[in-house]
Amino acid sequence: MMTPRQHLDLSESAVLRVLRSLLAAELTAAGRRIRAEEAALWPADLALDESGLGLDSLERLTCAAAVNAFFHLHETGIEDYLLARHTLSGWAEVVRAALAEGVSGLTVTTSGSTGERRPCTHSAARLLAEGAHWAGRFADRRRILALVPAHHIYGFLFTALLPDLLGLPVQDARALAPGRLLREVAPGDLLVGFPTGFSGLLRSIGPAILPADVEAVSSTAPLPAGIHHALRGVGFGRVTEVYGSSETGGIATRIAPEESFRLLPWWRPGEAGSIVDAETGQPVPLPDNAVFDKQGGFHLHGRKDRAVQVGGVNVYPDRIAARLREHPLVADCVVRLDSRLAEPRLKAFAIPAPGAEPQRLAAELEAWCRSALSAPERPVRIDCGPALPVSELGKLTDWEAAA
């Protein structure tokens, strides 16, 4: 039996917001390195050819394929019309025509920071249900300020679907310097961000106090209690933390770091720290170790896959260490997150291979990391020594703590 098609009915501005974000990500992955704040300012009539965005024939095909995959244009048979349109607004018209006819859902992808990007499909019915939930939660907001890309599931829900459901304007705050953002924040605003972005904003605005009735919502990574309290301290009336993933969408929420996460209405607790889709009864494993309480809430105790967050991106220290061990000057190494930094980044400790000088090893590894790893994956500090750092019990430990 075929899944019934639902009508997402996104506005032109919402579709353009997703297209800017999606195309910038695709072109950056292909080596163009387009900054988010640059893409946020692309006009609707931006030409896609050499007179505007400068797409060659292969880039045009790549971007069209990404748009087709995201919006499921193939379900309506009009995906080829993208290649006949030559402006950003022309592509938005094709997307909106497909959505008006009805598609089964949308497909976002994971970041692919270490390994291949994975497609994650969400039904239109579930997207609309989650959008309606957030519309009820934030019904009193007057404007959305976006610090996140609109083509990921969190960004789509909060900067494309939610503002359409509530009829709210959206300002892409990534194109604003912190000082200007502070000047433009107004009562009724909802700032949609992530922990690293909020941390940087807090450092930039210093002791400034926001106007009354401004709220924030954070996702993509656990929001440290210190950042949560600091946001409240500068005047955010409510800070909502959303727990979810690209695969699941929103799972749970809380408004204070001391509280348990509370499941959204379409989930219920499962066995062994999992959750269950209340509609289908299908169990869904959580990416983190979760401990449920008697009231159905839960607390998180680290990721199961040992991923850490750098700049809002999941990276895997163990995998990066394995890649560093492949370098001919490295006998062994360990990679850890340096959480003492204002913006947590990775660091590495390497044992030189026989005959390799520590100073030469550190310099060559740093150059190699810059060319072979993405910015979130790259250790920003590399130390060398004759043996990996271990505790008194012989377990691997932080070398600075050991010292």
Which residue intervals of the chain bear CATH 3.40.50.12780?
Answer: 113-308
The model's pLDDT over 36-71, given as tens digits with 9 standing for 90+, comes to 889 999 999 999 998 899 999 999 999 999 999 999
**So what's the pLDDT on residue 390?**
67
pLDDT in tens, 261-293: 999 999 999 887 789 999 899 999 888 888 888
B/e letters for 130-166, b = 16+ CB within 10 Å, e = fewer, are bbebbbeebeebebbbbbbbbbbbbbbbbbbbbbbbb
Indicate the pairing of strand 214-218 with strand 236-245: parallel
Q: How confident is the model at residue 357 (pLDDT cuts 50, 70, 90)?
A: confident
Comparing 1 with 118, which gets the higher pLDDT?
Answer: 118
Q: Is the pLDDT of residue 371 over 70?
A: yes
Residue of higher predicted confidence among 153 and 30 = 153
The residue assigned the tokens 């106090």 is 209
**Each residue of 185-207: b (16+ CB within 10 Å) or e?**
beeebbbbbbbbbbbbbbeebee
Domain 1-103 sits in CATH at: 1.10.1200
**Tokens 């999941």 sit at which residue?**
314
Query: pLDDT tier at 360 (50, 70, 90 boundaries)?
Result: confident
Q: What is the mean pLDDT of residues 106-119?
A: 71
pLDDT category, 391, cuts 50, 70, 90? low
Q: Range(s) for CATH 1.10.1200 in the chain?
A: 1-103
Superfamily holding 316-402: ANL, C-terminal domain (3.30.300.30)
SS (H, E, C) 370-402: HHHCCCCCCCCEEEECCCCCECCCCCECCHHHH
* Cα pseudo-dihedral 313, 11, 243, 335, rounded to 10: 0
**Rounded (10°) angle between helices 317-325 and 358-372:** 120
Mean pLDDT of the region 317-345: 87
Distance separating alpha carbons of residues 242 and 253, to the nearest angstrom: 5
Higher pLDDT pick, 171 / 110? 171
Comma-separated ranges of CATH 3.30.300.30 domains in the chain = 316-402
Judge whether residue 155 has pLDDT over 50. Answer: yes
Mean pLDDT of the chain: 89
Average pLDDT over residues 8-20: 96
* pLDDT category of residue 403 using cuts at 50, 70 and 90: very low
Mean pLDDT check: name the lowest of 1-5, 62-66, 72-76, 82-86: 1-5
Question: What's the pLDDT at 307?
Answer: 79
CATH classification of 113-308, choosing from 3.30.499.10, 3.40.50.300, 3.40.50.12780, 3.30.70.1060? 3.40.50.12780
> How much of the chain exceeds pLDDT 70, in percent?
94
